[in-house]
Amino acid sequence: MSERKTTHFGFQEVAVEDKARRVADVFHSVAAKYDLMNDLMSGGIHRLWKRFTIELSGVRRGHKVLDIAGGTGDLSYKFSKLVGPEGLVALADINASMLNVGRDRLTDRGVAGNIVYNQADAQYLPYPDNTFDCITIAFGLRNVTDKDLALESMLRVLKPGGRLLVLEFSKPKHNMLEKIYDQYSFKVLPFMGKLVTNDSESYRYLAESIRMHPDQDTLKEMMENAGFSRCTYHNMTGGIVALHYGVKP
């Protein structure tokens, strides 16, 4: 009898087939107040991180863009303006609650006509080969069970010359900053989660998932192994967040 395959869910070891369900439970719980918590957790700085992602994307009129783990639609909103009526933005998220919040939010902001919403798993993207000019995944890759499989799936649906941008929490570059960040992540975040969403455990998981995510150089190597070229990354806020970039040859 073969051994049951496991992966990490935060600091816990869980069966591979259980991780997606557990991650889904986390985001079902926090979806309604996800944006508010992002602003509180980062002091609003997440908006600057996302703005830099938009600038590096090179997206322009007529492009097709895939926003994976697009959640409440911050990036999709900006991309919909850039691609214009000739272009298309696909906002994809594996979590129905997050996707519904994103759809409602963008509809309220008047976005229509050039955006579609897909409940989709990053590991098995439901799009034809060579479809998109740009793919972004912001604060979502660390929640994917098989990151290598997801990167290969992203490469497949990108057009040759298309860009992948991965915005994700990473490893701080200075020991003192890392110590302060650890205290903040494991003490303050769960407390804030309890106050705002009445859910400290989901934010404890989010802090743990950040620590289990590959560091900057490891993720760059994973992108290269998946087949991306010209891979690089930019540290932001002392390496607390990194933006990785790669091109489909």
| For residues 76-100, average pLDDT | 95
Residue 122 assigned as binding residue: yes
Q: Which domains does the chain possess?
A: 6-173+205-247 (3.40.50.150)
Residue 104 assigned as binding residue: no
pLDDT of 1 over the 50 cut: no
Rounded-to-integer distance, Cα 239 and Cα 196, Å: 27
Identify the pLDDT of residue 130.
Answer: 98
Give the lowest-confidence range in 91-105, 118-132, 202-216. Answer: 202-216
CA distances from 21 to 95, 102, 114 (A): 10, 20, 31
pLDDT of 227 over the 80 cut: yes
Q: Which residue has the tokens 């009898």?
A: 1
Rounded-to-integer distance, Cα 105 and Cα 29, Å: 18
Residue 108 assigned as binding residue: no
C-alpha angle 171-205-94 in degrees, rounded to nearest 5: 95
C-alpha angle 216-48-81 in degrees, rounded to nearest 5: 110
Which residues face 90 on adjacent strands? 66, 116
Q: Is residue 91 within 8 Å of 118, Cβ to Cβ?
A: yes
In sequence order, the 6+-apart residues with CB closer than 8 A to the CB of 154 are 68, 122, 125, 135, 137, 164, 226
Written as one letter, the residue type at 108 is D
Residue 133 assigned as binding residue: no
Per-residue pLDDT tens over the stretch 17-74? 667 677 666 666 666 666 666 676 777 899 999 999 999 999 999 999 999 999 889 9
Rounded-to-integer distance, Cα 246 and Cα 73, Å: 22
DSSP letters along 111-148, please?
Answer: --SSEEEEE--GGG--S-TT-EEEEEEES-GGG-S-HH
Extract the tokens encoding 174: 């200075």
Written as one letter, the residue type at 124 is Y
Per-residue pLDDT tens over the stretch 183-208? 888 887 777 777 777 777 877 887 88
Share of the chain above pLDDT 90, in %: 63
| Closest residue by Cα to residue 111 from 157, 75, 164, 68 | 75
Q: Is 172 helix (H, G, I), strand (E, B) or coil?
A: coil
Identify the pLDDT of residue 71.
Answer: 85
Q: Is residue 158 within 8 Å of 226, Cβ to Cβ?
A: no
- Reported as a pLDDT band with limits 50, 70 and 90, residue 2 is very low
Per-residue pLDDT tens over the stretch 132-174? 999 999 999 999 999 999 999 999 999 999 999 999 999 999 9
Share of the chain above pLDDT 70, in %: 87
Q: Is 161 helix (H, G, I), strand (E, B) or coil?
A: strand
CA distances from 203 to 18, 29, 199, 209 (A): 19, 10, 7, 10
